[in-house]
């Protein structure tokens, strides 16, 4: 009998590998399928919101499937799961499903249907792997704590998260990626079969838990709600931290990997059996929240990289602490799959609030402050001194003391807000010190701690941020946060930390080209030299600066993906478009898809201005995209591409695309001129004939340069990665 138990408990390493492998494949397939769909669906936010919802629904469905399956005898579970895994393999290698095109107005349903048809069955079953394998492992009488295996799941997810952008995408075309992933999936089926075989002779306890166990551990509504909250807040914080960093730190590619990576690793720390680090972080989490989280409502406050790292560290600390509390509230392994179903539901709620609701409701990243406040209510409250803990647990006197502390904190927060508004650093120190000390003293009185923390956020820049929203100086869409500010005689539009254009406020200068679009810039030179009757297409409206190069008789068309950007020109916040090209046609939607609908040879000059932010739309920079541009241009038409970017050097890739497509190209680098309101800019001009390019150079008062050496290979829809082009 002892031998059977030992054999039943054996195989922890096998189950660890199976769980890790399944999560690794899960985090590889999401970006891979998104890359498959990008050229066909474009970069509109509705597409990717649909993709996120599909993956989230499939994830929840997978956990629900695992929970339902776990009620059956183990042999039947194994037979059903392995059969379904094998049937799903018939849909591989993954490729974009061939479904009928959508009718007008039905795209919102068609995009999810496309993702479901492409990867639905496989993703659904992989979502169930982690919880189901833990349940199988726990079936052996001598099995150890199965919840520790959840750490393997998140390590696998973390590995997949890094592997796709840094290894799979740069090294393999999509077809190769899909075939490699299929091999990994088949190996996983074999490993799952071995895991099932290791538990094949374990006595089954039947579909329902024993009555004594069920009675001994009821799971009531308060516990369920707490599970949901403890999983929703870290999930939401992971996304809100990403938004905050890309809004107020830097529009850096792949920056989202950092918060997501720390979020995944937090499970590995929290679900460890010893829990030493969890205990340490839990004790110091309130202090860390006051010290770092108090800065969360400063507009632009994360522009300091040290503060940005602090915000990421805070995310990790809070995620570990909240997940540790979740782990401490875990049920008996018989309820393991239900527990993970609730954790997944909580994670989905946090993601939906941050990714879908917040961009509609808020004009700034207020969801981050809300989630930090929720964390203040949820983290363990361990007073720094034992006598304080006893005092806060006492009666009426403790409530009066807590109320007094909050009143004093409110006064300090008011003084702090005045000092912040006036920019007097010395006057900020004492209110900050008072707020932090009061916050530390009331640890143990949860409502008072949360109230003082909220006052600290409001005093340290929060009121100013709210005033900016009340003044209507900001707007937000699914593409990010836009801010309008007036400084040094100019009105400027910024998207996070990326400047999208600026306009002189002085009436006599309101039509002067500024920013990246001055008369010496590549676009300025080409547009100024265009003849009457030229048909001009502009991809990326910005504030409409280029419109003031329009000449009588020319036809202008702007392609803009974000309606929020168009509103700044239509409501005359920026008047370039209204003053210079009021009759210009504006096409809203993904530029590549919309250009494909234009008549062949429609434009004599096509300007592509969509690459200054972190989210480089790679589908606009592939050989297939350049073929679309060639079709849209007249025989001697010119293509202008704006490649100014702080973090990515796009010129070598354009050079490779020019060589692959038979284009002739030159680059124009224009220096900064602050007095004229001009930013440094890099523009590339491409044409079908060398003579056309030489004619532009001859008519230009400013020199153009030869293109840099091309990248090793030109991007295609099947093979593109931004990693080799990063300016490290």
Q: CA 388, 390, 394, 397 torsion: positive or negative? A: negative
Report pTM.
0.82
Phi, psi of 283 (to 5 degrees): -70, -35
Report how far residue 431's alpha carbon sits from residue 437's, in angstroms, rounded to the nearest whole number: 10
Domain 1-201 has CATH 2.40.50: no
Instruction: Mention every residue, 6+ apart, whose C-beta is less than 8 A from residue 30.
Output: 55, 123
Report how far residue 695's alpha carbon sits from residue 670's, in angstroms, rounded to the nearest whole number: 20
Phi, psi of 480 (to 5 degrees): 135, -170
pLDDT of amino acid 247: 63
Cα of 592 vs its chain's centroid, Å? 23
From the list 238, 250, 241, 305, the residue with the least C-alpha distance to 495 is 250
DSSP state string for 310-330: HHHHHHHHHHHHHHHHHHHT-
Q: Where are the alpha helices (DSSP H) in 199-304?
A: 211-216, 221-248, 257-270, 276-288
pLDDT of amino acid 2: 43
What are the per-10-residue average pLDDT scores of the chain (728 residues)? Answer: 44 90 92 83 62 80 92 93 96 88 65 86 94 91 84 90 89 93 97 93 55 56 94 92 68 68 88 79 92 84 68 94 93 88 91 85 91 95 81 82 94 92 80 93 92 94 88 79 87 82 92 93 94 94 95 95 91 95 93 93 94 75 95 95 88 96 95 88 94 91 92 91 80
The two three-digit tokens of residue 615, written as one number: 């989210």
pLDDT of amino acid 129: 93
From the list 49, 719, 677, 702, the residue with the least C-alpha distance to 354 is 49
Torsion of CA 714, 716, 718, 721, to 10 degrees: 60
| Burial class of residue 40 in the structure, from the number of CB atoms within 10 Å of its CB (0-12 exposed, 13-18 middle, 19+ buried) | middle
In the sheet that 490-495 helps form, which strands lie side by side, from edge to edge?
A: 474-477, 480-487, 490-495, 498-504
Report how far residue 313's alpha carbon sits from residue 231's, in angstroms, rounded to the nearest whole number: 18
Report how far residue 282's alpha carbon sits from residue 318's, in angstroms, rounded to the nearest whole number: 8
**Per-domain residue ranges of the chain:** 1-201, 220-380, 386-470, 487-725
Instruction: Mention every residue, 6+ apart, whose C-beta is less than 8 A from residue 120.
Output: 54, 58
Instruction: Mention every residue, 6+ apart, whose C-beta is less than 8 A from residue 611.
Output: 617, 620, 621, 641, 642, 643, 644, 645, 648, 650
Torsion of CA 278, 281, 283, 287, to 10 degrees: -160
pLDDT of amino acid 102: 67
Residue 410 DSSP SS3:
helix
The two three-digit tokens of residue 117, written as one number: 């048809």
For tokens 């284009």, the residue is: 663
Q: Where are the alpha helices (DSSP H) in 599-708?
A: 623-632, 651-661, 690-699
Class of domain 487-725: alpha beta
| Burial class of residue 620 in the structure, from the number of CB atoms within 10 Å of its CB (0-12 exposed, 13-18 middle, 19+ buried) | buried
């Amino acid at each position: 009998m002892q031998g059977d138990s030992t054999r039943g408990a054996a195989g922890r390493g096998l189950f660890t590998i199976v769980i890790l492998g399944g999560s690794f494949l899960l985090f590889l397939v999401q970006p891979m399928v998104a890359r498959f769909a990008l050229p066909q669906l474009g970069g509109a936010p509705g597409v990717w919101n649909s993709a996120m919802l599909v993956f989230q629904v499939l994830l929840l469905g997978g956990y629900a499937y695992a929970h339902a399956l776990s009620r059956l005898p183990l042999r039947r579970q194994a037979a059903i799961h392995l059969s379904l895994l094998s049937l799903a393999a018939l849909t591989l290698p993954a490729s974009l499903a061939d479904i009928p095109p959508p009718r007008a107005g039905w795209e919102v349903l068609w995009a999810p249907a496309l993702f479901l048809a492409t990867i639905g069955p496989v993703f659904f079953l992989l979502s169930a792997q982690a919880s189901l394998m833990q349940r199988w492992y726990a079936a052996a009488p001598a099995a150890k704590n199965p919840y520790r295996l959840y750490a393997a799941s998140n390590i696998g997810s973390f590995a997949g998260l890094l592997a796709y952008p840094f290894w799979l995408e740069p090294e393999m075309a999509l077809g190769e990626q899909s075939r490699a992933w299929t091999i990994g999936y088949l190996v996983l089926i074999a490993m799952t079969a071995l895991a099932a075989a290791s538990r094949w002779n374990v006595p089954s306890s039947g579909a329902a838990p024993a009555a004594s166990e069920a009675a001994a551990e009821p799971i009531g509504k308060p516990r369920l709600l707490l599970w949901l909250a403890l999983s929703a807040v870290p999930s939401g914080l992971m996304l809100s931290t990403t938004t905050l960093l890309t809004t107020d730190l830097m529009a850096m590619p792949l920056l989202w990997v950092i918060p997501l990576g720390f979020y995944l690793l937090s499970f590995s720390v929290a679900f460890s059996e010893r829990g030493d680090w969890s205990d340490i972080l839990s004790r110091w989490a309130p202090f860390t929240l006051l010290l770092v989280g108090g800065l969360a409502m400063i507009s632009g406050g994360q522009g300091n990289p040290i503060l940005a790292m602090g915000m990421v560290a805070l995310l990790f600390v809070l995620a570990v602490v909240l997940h540790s509390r979740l782990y401490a509230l875990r049920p008996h392994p018989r309820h393991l799959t239900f527990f993970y179903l609730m954790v997944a539901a909580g994670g989905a709620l946090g993601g939906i609030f941050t990714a879908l609701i917040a961009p509609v409701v808020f004009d700034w990243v207020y969801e981050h402050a809300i989630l930090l406040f929720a964390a203040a209510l949820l983290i363990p409250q361990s007073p720094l001194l034992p006598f304080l803990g006893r005092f806060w647990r006492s009666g009426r006197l403790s409530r009066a003391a807590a109320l007094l502390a909050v009143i004093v904190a409110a006064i300090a927060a008011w003084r702090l807000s005045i000092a912040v508004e006036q920019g007097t650093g010395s006057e900020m120190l004492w209110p900050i010190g008072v707020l932090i000390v009061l916050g530390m003293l009331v640890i143990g009185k949860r409502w008072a701690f949360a109230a003082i923390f909220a006052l600290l956020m409001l005093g340290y820049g929060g009121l100013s941020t709210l005033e900016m929203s009340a003044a209507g100086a900001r707007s937000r869409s699914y593409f990010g946060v836009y801010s309008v500010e007036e400084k040094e005689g100019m009105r400027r539009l910024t998207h996070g930390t990326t400047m999208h254009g600026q306009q002189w406020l002085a009436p006599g200068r309101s039509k002067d080209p500024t920013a990246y679009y001055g008369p010496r810039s590549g676009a300025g030179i080409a547009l100024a030299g265009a003849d009457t009757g030229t048909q001009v297409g502009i991809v990326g409206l910005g504030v409409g600066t280029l419109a003031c190069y329009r000449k009588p008789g020319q036809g202008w068309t702007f392609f803009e993906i974000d309606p929020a950007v168009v509103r700044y020109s239509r409501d005359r916040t920026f008047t370039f478009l209204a003053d210079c090209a009021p009759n210009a046609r504006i096409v809203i939607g993904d530029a590549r898809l919309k250009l494909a609908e234009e008549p062949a040879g429609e434009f004599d000059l096509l300007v592509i201005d969509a690459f200054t932010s972190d989210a480089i739309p790679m589908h606009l920079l592939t050989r297939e995209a350049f073929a679309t541009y060639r079709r849209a241009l007249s025989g001697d038409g010119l293509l202008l591409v704006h490649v100014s970017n702080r973090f990515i050097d796009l010129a070598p890739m354009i050079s490779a695309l020019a060589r692959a497509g038979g284009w002739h190209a030159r680059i124009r680098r224009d220096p900064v001129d602050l007095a004229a309101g001009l930013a440094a800019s890099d523009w590339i001009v491409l044409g079908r004939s060398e003579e056309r390019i030489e004619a532009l150079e001859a008519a230009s008062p400013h020199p153009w340069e030869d293109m840099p050496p091309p990248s090793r290979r030109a991007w295609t829809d099947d093979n593109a990665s931004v990693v080799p082009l990063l300016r490290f």
